[in-house]
Amino acid sequence: NHGGILRTVNTKTDFTLDIDAISNAVNSKTKAVIINSPNNPTGQIYSEESLNVLGYLLESKGKTFNRTIYLISDEPYRKIIYDGLNMPGIFICYKESLIAASYSKDLSFAGECIGFAAVNPELTFKEEILEGLVLANRILGFVNAPALMQRVIASLQGVSVNISEYERKRGILCEGLTNCGYEFIKPAGAFYLFPKSPVPVDIKFIQMLQEELILAVPGSGFGAPGYFRIAFCVDDKTIINSFSGFKRAMDRIA
């Protein structure tokens, strides 16, 4: 990364953007701000209003520090959105913006590293950025998509998974975990639930779930200790059969 320093910024408690925290983190050396929406692991979708405010902030900071600050939006789950919501476009919110997208999630090709990068037509140094992306892909050892998958994707433009299936599975999991006493914010997108851990040390609770043959990921792995991530992109039977284990784990704490 040529000596770049990653500075992480926490969201608000509802997992929405904390603009004040981002403002405090941006300084005279900031090259770019990276966001992920719909978010993994929370499923939160950042609103158009918050993106507009973020865009205004970065434009203002850029003028203050006399530099271009890019906004990079990582959007592999951009087509997995529920409740009739729409995915706000960052291009209309901020000129200096780029999008990284993937086909692996919206086509259920998880593991197939194939996607695209899109740059705002008004982006400063657009040609240089595009050339840099091509060069980085060649020399940094990233996996290039197989020729077969590149041809397959060309025939699948505009196609995506049946979102109603994911939405239904989300409903099953949310109802089941609510009945077991877990607290969470219902995800607006992606296929994860990010409940609060019933015990302060999330890794300890993950171990308790493992004893119930339930695989989950500690929130501390995402920089959010005190939570855990569970995926619902599995068959209904797997989701339903997990509830007894979730209940036993909760009862052991009580």
Domain limits at 29?
Answer: 19-154
**Claim to verify: residue 147 and residue 213 sit in the same structural domain:** no
DSSP-derived letter for residue 130 is H
- In this structure, the dihedral spanned by the alpha carbons of residues 80, 241, 183 and 232, taken in order and rounded to 10 degrees, is -10
Tell me the pLDDT band of 142, cut-offs 50, 70 and 90: low
Q: Is the pLDDT of residue 12 over 60?
A: yes
The answer to whether residue 3 is domain-embedded is no
Q: What's the longest Cα–Cα distance across the chain?
A: 59
Q: Are residues 133 and 170 in the same domain?
A: no
**How far from chain centre, in Å, is Cα 45?**
9
Percent of the chain with pLDDT over 70: 98
Residue 1 has pLDDT above 60, yes or no: no
Q: State yes or no: pLDDT of 144 exceeds 80.
A: no
Chosen domain end from 121, 154, 187: 154
Instruction: For residues 210 and 110, state if they share a domain.
Output: no
Q: Name which of 2-6, 10-14, 29-33, 217-221 the model is least confident about.
A: 2-6
Q: Is 29 exposed, middle or buried (0-12, 13-18, 19+ CB in 10 A)?
A: exposed
* Integer Cα distance of 197 and 206 in angstroms: 9
pLDDT 10s digits, 43-73: 999 999 999 999 999 999 999 999 999 999 9
3-state secondary structure of 107: coil
pLDDT, position 3: 79
Question: Which candidate, 206, 174, 234, 191, places its Cα nearest to that of 41?
Answer: 191
- 118-143 b/e with 16+ CB inside 10 Å = b? ebbeebeeeeebeeeeeeeeeeeeee
Which of 110, 137, 154 lies at the terminal end of a domain, its last residue? 154
* Res 134: pLDDT: 85
- Specify whether 85 is located in the same domain as 188: no
Structure tokens at 192: 């994860």
Domain count, the chain: 2
**Sheet-wide strand order for 217-218:** 192-193, 228-231, 217-218
pLDDT per residue over 181-237, tens digit each?
Answer: 999 999 999 999 999 999 999 999 999 999 999 999 999 999 999 999 999 999 999
The pTM of the full predicted model, rounded to 2 decimals, is 0.92
Q: Are residues 187 and 248 in the same domain?
A: yes
Report d(CA 171, CA 87) in Å as an integer. 21
Cis? peptide before 198, omega within 30° of 0: no
What mean pLDDT do residues 148-175 have? Answer: 92
